[in-house]
Amino acid sequence: MASNALRGYFERLGNQVTSGVWQLGFAARFLAYMLLHSGTALRRFSLTIREIYFSGVLSLVIILVSGLFVGMVLGLQGYHTLERYGSSEALGVLVALSLVRELGPVVAGLLFASRAGSAITAEIGLMKATEQISAMEMMAVDPIARVVAPRFWGGVISMPLLAALFSAMGIFGGYLVGVKLIGVDDGAFWSQMQAAVDVREDIVNGVIKSFVFGIAVSWIAVFEGYDAAPTAEGVSRATTRTVVTSSLAILALDFVLTALMFTGGTAT
């Protein structure tokens, strides 16, 4: 009995591993195919612009409001900690560095995954469930070139713009709370920030991060949509998986990128 149960367990485990590896391979092949067939999405750019509208412009409100509040909280929390060491003028540095390096790309990426990534998955999944994808194939229209690639590129283009807006809005929020509300010196807030934030080291690295997150989230979103079981349940599961997988991917990638980017200073 026990050996049977054990065998069943190992069989399930093996199945899961095999299907996981199979799915990873499929996802990689899917990405390569999509990149090779992105010609249509880039040539008929209005298709991509429509997707930038849906994933970028419609995410604007949530990004801006969250950015403002995250910055305000950073300003408030940072002030109380820094004040204890008598260096509340460094508030600008704290707010700007934490937003530009970490919070901007990561939180914007998480919001983007739940706001736009889930919508992309649901849309493509539903197209598959209602056999619109098959209909396109019947008409000799490549659904990956016509439907998937524009959504992917729309996400990749929107994400760095949204992350930059998030950081800028957050710094404004920190400024509002720190300078206008609490009364940190205006000049010190900006000048210390400018002295400490490096364009190449901090801002460009932040933009690279957000770009990588954009690729990861968009890839996961379109793949899960395309891979979804063509039923109502399948679409709902795929949407959940998109949010969970892309959030985990963002956090894991963030660790890897941070380790690569911000620890090189002492090695040379």
Partner 1 sequence: MNRTTIDLWVGILVAAGLGALLFLALKVGNLASFSAAQTYEVKANFANIGGLKVRAAVKSAGVVVGRVSEIRFDTETYEAVVTMSLNAAYRFPRDTVAKILTSGLLGEQYIGLEAGGDTKMLKNGDRLKLTQSAVVLENLISQFLFNKAAEGKDSAK
The Cα 140–Cα 149 span in angstroms is 16
Considering only 70, 103, 165, 253, the residue that binds partner 1 (CB under 8 A) is 165
Amino acid, single-letter form, for residue 87: S
Q: Give the range of 2-10, 129-137, 156-164, 252-260 binding partner 1 by CB under 8 A.
A: 156-164
Contacts of 196 (CB under 8 A, 6+ apart): 93, 96, 97
Asked if residue 42 binds partner 1 (CB under 8 A), the reply is no
Considering only 27, 190, 258, 261, the residue that binds partner 1 (CB under 8 A) is 190
Asked if residue 188 binds partner 1 (CB under 8 A), the reply is no
Considering only 193, 216, 220, 235, the residue that binds partner 1 (CB under 8 A) is 193
Residue with smaller CB distance to partner 1, 63 or 148: 63
CA 214 distance to own-chain centroid: 5
- Our CA angle for 178, 179, 183, nearest 5°, is 95
Nearest to 52 by CA among 40, 60, 62: 60
Considering only 24, 36, 60, 141, the residue that binds partner 1 (CB under 8 A) is 60
The residue to which tokens 């604007």 are assigned = 60
Q: Binding residues for partner 1, how many (CB under 8 A)? A: 33
Asked if residue 111 binds partner 1 (CB under 8 A), the reply is no
With 0-12 / 13-18 / 19 or more C-beta atoms within 10 angstroms meaning exposed / middle / buried, residue 203 is middle
CB-side neighbour CA atoms (13 Å) of 210: 29
Contact 152, 222 (CB under 8 A): yes
Residue with smaller CB distance to partner 1, 207 or 235: 207
Contacts of 128 (CB under 8 A, 6+ apart): 225, 226, 228, 230
Asked if residue 86 binds partner 1 (CB under 8 A), the reply is no
Q: How far is the CB of 59 from partner 1 (least distance, A)?
A: 9
Considering only 30, 34, 41, 52, the residue that binds partner 1 (CB under 8 A) is 52
Q: How far is the CB of 239 from partner 1 (least distance, A)?
A: 23
Considering only 46, 85, 139, 140, the residue that binds partner 1 (CB under 8 A) is 46
Q: Give the range of 8-16, 70-78, 139-147, 165-173 binding partner 1 by CB under 8 A.
A: 165-173
The Cα 67–Cα 78 span in angstroms is 16
Q: Which residues of this protein are in contact with partner 1, per CB under 8 A?
A: 46, 49-50, 52-53, 56-57, 60, 96, 100, 158, 160-162, 164-165, 167-169, 171, 190, 193-195, 197-199, 202-203, 207, 265-266, 268
